[in-house]
Amino acid sequence: MHTDFDTCWEILQRRDASYDGVFFVGVRTTRIYCRPSCSARPLRKNVAFYPTIAAAREAGLRACLRCHPDNILPETALVHAVCAYIDAQPQTPTLGAIATAVQYSSFYVNRIFKQQTGITPRQYAVARQTERLAGLLRNQPTSITRAIMDAGYASVGTAYYAQPFGMALRDVRRGGAGMTLDFDYCETDFGVIGIAQTAHGVCAVVLADTPQAVTAELSAQFPQAVLQHAPTTMETAIDAVRALAYSHPTNREIRLDIRATAFQQRVWDALRRIPAGETRSYAEVARDIGQPTAVRAVAQACAQNPVAIIIPCHRVVHTDTRRDGYRWGSARKQALLAHERTHTPEANG
């Protein structure tokens, strides 16, 4: 559940209905609480965010008569209850334990959770356990064995067998120390495009206003890795990504070195099937991958795309065709889409 102010404020600005019920917006001046999708536009200084209706009411707020935040679907409430229960457990709970806690059958819990999120409660629980282990390995001066046990794994062998990160646990603990990434950037009409790659392929494509901003972004993504400016090594990747940005045909295969959950991979594959010059809504992408109710999960997968342009998440828009919500800025998203609409082979007749 989202309570970080900046994250919630950004969602509020988008009026993103996919977060209705995930958190609630409190307005100090009117003493009401709303859904994130409410059409009301309070000033930032007057806003507070609450994870539950109960928390908003405890703060002395009443429900908005415009958006009726109390009328959240029971399926949504169930998903929130399941997530809250899993988050509070020191170990990954069984489906039976989750069902008992929320007072529904295991079959019903599993079915509704997957319908609403695109993943099962078990997959969510494993992802949360992986996040805990990553945090312990990177942020605490503890042994790998201690981190594994504190993260709730049944045994050290279980964690090693699961291979949760796609890399050795000792490398995760070092935060990528010892890795060397080649990178370069190029100037385009859409800003500066920066690309980083490992020995196995491209691992990041970022968009920024200056080369310095590209370097800062890559450093933030790979804080312990050695970033090596290597224009000669990166020439092929730079040319291929620039061609994609300008909608030029290219036969160059871009090797990728990115990690993804099964769900993320399905979403990213669907994005790469969207023709240049066209857009799809999050709901359409959800239907395309066979998960029509997983709109929120699709939006999250788009936001987690590590290789802009190559995986064209800029072609996904809100149902009302708004172009906001793009990690690299709505203006850049609009420019990419406008260029594609006028420079694809179909557009040129």
Q: Check 8, 34, 67, 83 and give the catalytic one.
A: 34
Q: CA 226: distance to chain centroid?
A: 25
Residue 34 known to be catalytic:
yes
Question: How many residues in total does the chain contain?
Answer: 349
Contact 66, 15 (CB under 8 A): no
DSSP 17: G
Cα radius of gyration (the chain): 22
Between 262-272 and 295-303, two packed helices, what is the crossing angle to 10 degrees?
A: 80
Catalytic residue among 8, 203, 302, 313: 313
Q: What SS3 state is found at 191?
A: strand
The pair of structure tokens assigned to 305 is 């795309």
* Contacts by 138-141, CB closer than 8 A, 24 or more apart: 138/172, 138/173, 138/175
What number of CA atoms fall less than 13 Å from residue 95's CA on the CB side?
A: 14
Query: Is 217:223 a contact under the CB 8 Å cutoff?
Result: no
Residues 44, 55, 303, 206: what is their CA dihedral angle, to the nearest 10 degrees?
Answer: 50
The Cα 261–Cα 266 span in angstroms is 9
Quick check: is 38 catalytic?
no
Catalytic residues: 34, 313
